[in-house]
Chains A and B, each alone.
Chain A
Amino acid sequence: MSTPFEYLSSVNRLVHEPARLAILVALSACDRADFLFLLNITGLTKGNLSSHLSKLEQAGLVAIEKKFEGKTPITYATLTLEGKEALKDYWKQFDKVRAGIRQLKPLRTT
């Protein structure tokens, strides 16, 4: 059986970063979300959010769609199937780490 530290090392780094994890969690809870909602819910700056979304899009975890409503451009982000799987795997790994840590016994000192 792997130790929790081995599980930790195998965690998807792209998903594990708090800002990206926040974006993925927000998107997993709805159909799709626009840029403003993600700004508000994550508290990121526009530049940071844009950069994280680009990374997630490049990895295929998020699909970006740009639309016009009247004259206003709106950017929508959607979690792809790959993104849903990545998030599911991440939580599985996370649970294994937690369970592993719970089973660790303290070292006995004499």
Chain B
Amino acid sequence: MTQFEHLSSVSSLVHEPAPGGSGPRIEDIPRIALVSRRFMELQGLLPAAVGAGLILSSLLSHLVGAPGQSGGPLGALVFCCLLVDPLTQYLQRRYRQSFGDAVATTLQKFLAAMPFIAVMTGALIDTAIYQSPSPRPGPSFVGIALACYSTWVLLRDWRWRTHYLAALAAGLAGIVVTASVIPSPGTGGIDPARTDAFLLAYALAGFGLVIAGLFDHYVLASALRRRGSKGPGFTQENGTANVDTI
């Protein structure tokens, strides 16, 4: 919608009710349109949880000696999924309780799930290549997927989601780290140096997701902050939300 094109910075997303009265002003309309459209994408604690899960599972995999075992980085991802699934369900419930529910269209749901889809698809491709009888050198597809997704977000919303530069940098770092390690021939799926490089790339991707997710959450919380909401937490009855409690 061309009416909203002048929206240019995070500061313009912060909700400032009109002095002396509640309710939106005409200049709030772009903020309302953008936040409503990106409501699911801006629920940043969900990708942040996935990122934290990736960091933790990569670290644990490294500590328990996964690089010396067959399967390599795959174990870290399975562990990450197990770890993060209940947490994301809890966070979704909390978001709904705090900010309400704007039921997304199918396309919006797909776009919100893109970071997870990108990372998991990249990891599956990595695993397939890693476990092939003759592994070829090359970058981690998780890094590539994260870099592509971050670039797309930056191109679309660069004025108010510049924090995706951190995710882009993390993705690129992951690509460099994994591309610089050449697979050892004839190791039968066990290549500790390469596995370590992949685990580091996943941890970097996780770090990028945590940063981007936390800032997305900040943008959402700033845009939906209700002045005068008192007391901790939220109740469905009084309809107020305290964004700091989620």
Contact = CB atoms under 8 A, between A and B. Distances in A.
Interface string B28-40: 1100110111010
B237 to A, nearest CB: 9
Contacts of B104: 30-31
B63 interface: no
Interface residues of B, number: 35
A44 B29 contact: no
Interface of B: 1-3, 15, 17, 22-26, 28-29, 32-33, 35-37, 39, 99-105, 108, 223-224, 226-227, 236, 238-241
What range describes how many residues of A lie at the interface? 20 to 34
B24 A39 contact: no
B1 A91 contact: yes
A42 B33 CA distance: 11
A46 B239 contact: yes
A19 B24 contact: yes
A33 B102 contact: yes
B23 A33 contact: no
6 contacts: A18-B25, A32-B102, A40-B224, A43-B226, A44-B22, A95-B2
A91 B5 CA distance: 14
A33 B26 CA distance: 20
A43 to B, nearest CB: 5
Contact of B39 (A25, A30, A45): A30
Contact of A36 (B3, B108, B239): B239
A94 to B, nearest CB: 7
B138 to A, nearest CB: 40
Given A25-B36, A34-B101, A48 B23 contact: yes
A41 interface: yes
Nearest to B237: A72
A28 B105 CA distance: 11
Contact of B37 (A19, A30, A43, A95): A30
A38 interface: yes
A33 B103 contact: yes
A42 B226 CA distance: 9
B28 A22 contact: yes
Interface string A4-44: 00000000000000110110011111111111111111111
Nearest to B17: A43
Nearest to B30: A25
A18 B26 contact: yes
Nearest to A36: B100
A45 B24 CA distance: 11
Contact of B36 (A26, A36, A94): A26
A101 B29 CA distance: 21
A25 B239 CA distance: 20
A30 B103 contact: yes
A55 to B, nearest CB: 14
Contact of A43 (B22, B26, B108, B238): B22
